[in-house]
Amino acid sequence: MLRRHLRFLALALALAACAANTSADEITYVDPGKLSIFSIPNNWNLYEFKDLSSFEQFPFTASVEGLAFPVISGAGFSAAPSRRPEDLGVPLAEADYPIGATAVRQVSADARERLSRFVLTQSVIPYRSFPDMYEFVSEDFSFGAGYDGVRRLVRYVDPDNPGSIAAVYMLAVTDPADQRMYSMVVGCSESCFSENQAAIERVVDSWIVNVKN
């Protein structure tokens, strides 16, 4: 059932990617360094970088192939009924509300030589190591001006709870010099994703990087 639904969603994403606009019903967040901007529904919860200092690891960031990318800026958000930063740590496959985050991360000289599409995606969520994983959308993506990367729409079975399935929509790009990695991800359980498809698309597609000008 999910596979059929996400095949339809893949078409919707292709049509919607160029049509994201903000409105009075949304909260727009601009990174303090003007590294990125995005909008969420005004009934969602927004958590700035300073609000997430209690996390041992910033939400939706991971080391991959021995490479660690320090987070220099970011924000989290969720559609949970209450405002609690810890809600961002709920496993996506168990979440009945959308959860997401943006992050800007430093890329070292060593890591720069090993960057790839695989590294870009798995440094957000290492889903390729999860059972019953499927990429419904797997394509290159570009903001232009050398800010290039990937777009992914993925479903996977939670490795810690084989009865639970997550669906995730993400974008990840690097800057022209490959010195910074930018990511935006939103996901939740299979049924939640289906119910909140339009809102999830809109949030991810509202994201823009390199907004200093």
- pLDDT tens over the chain, length 213 residues: 444 445 445 544 543 444 344 456 899 999 988 999 999 999 999 999 999 999 999 999 999 999 999 999 999 999 999 999 999 999 999 999 999 999 999 999 999 999 999 999 999 999 999 979 999 999 999 999 999 999 999 999 999 999 999 999 999 999 999 999 999 999 999 999 999 999 999 999 999 998 775
List the domain range (segments joined by +) for residue 103. 2-209
Domain count, the chain: 1
Residue 175: predicted pLDDT: 97
CA distance 213 to 47: 25
CATH of the domain at 172: 3.40.1000.10
Alpha-helix runs per DSSP H in the chain: 2-16, 109-112, 117-122, 190-195, 197-206
CA distance 126 to 130: 8
Between the alpha carbon of residue 138 and those of residues 5, 7, 50, 145, 169, the distances in Å are: 16, 12, 33, 21, 10
pTM for this model (two decimals) = 0.89
CA distance 102 to 11: 24
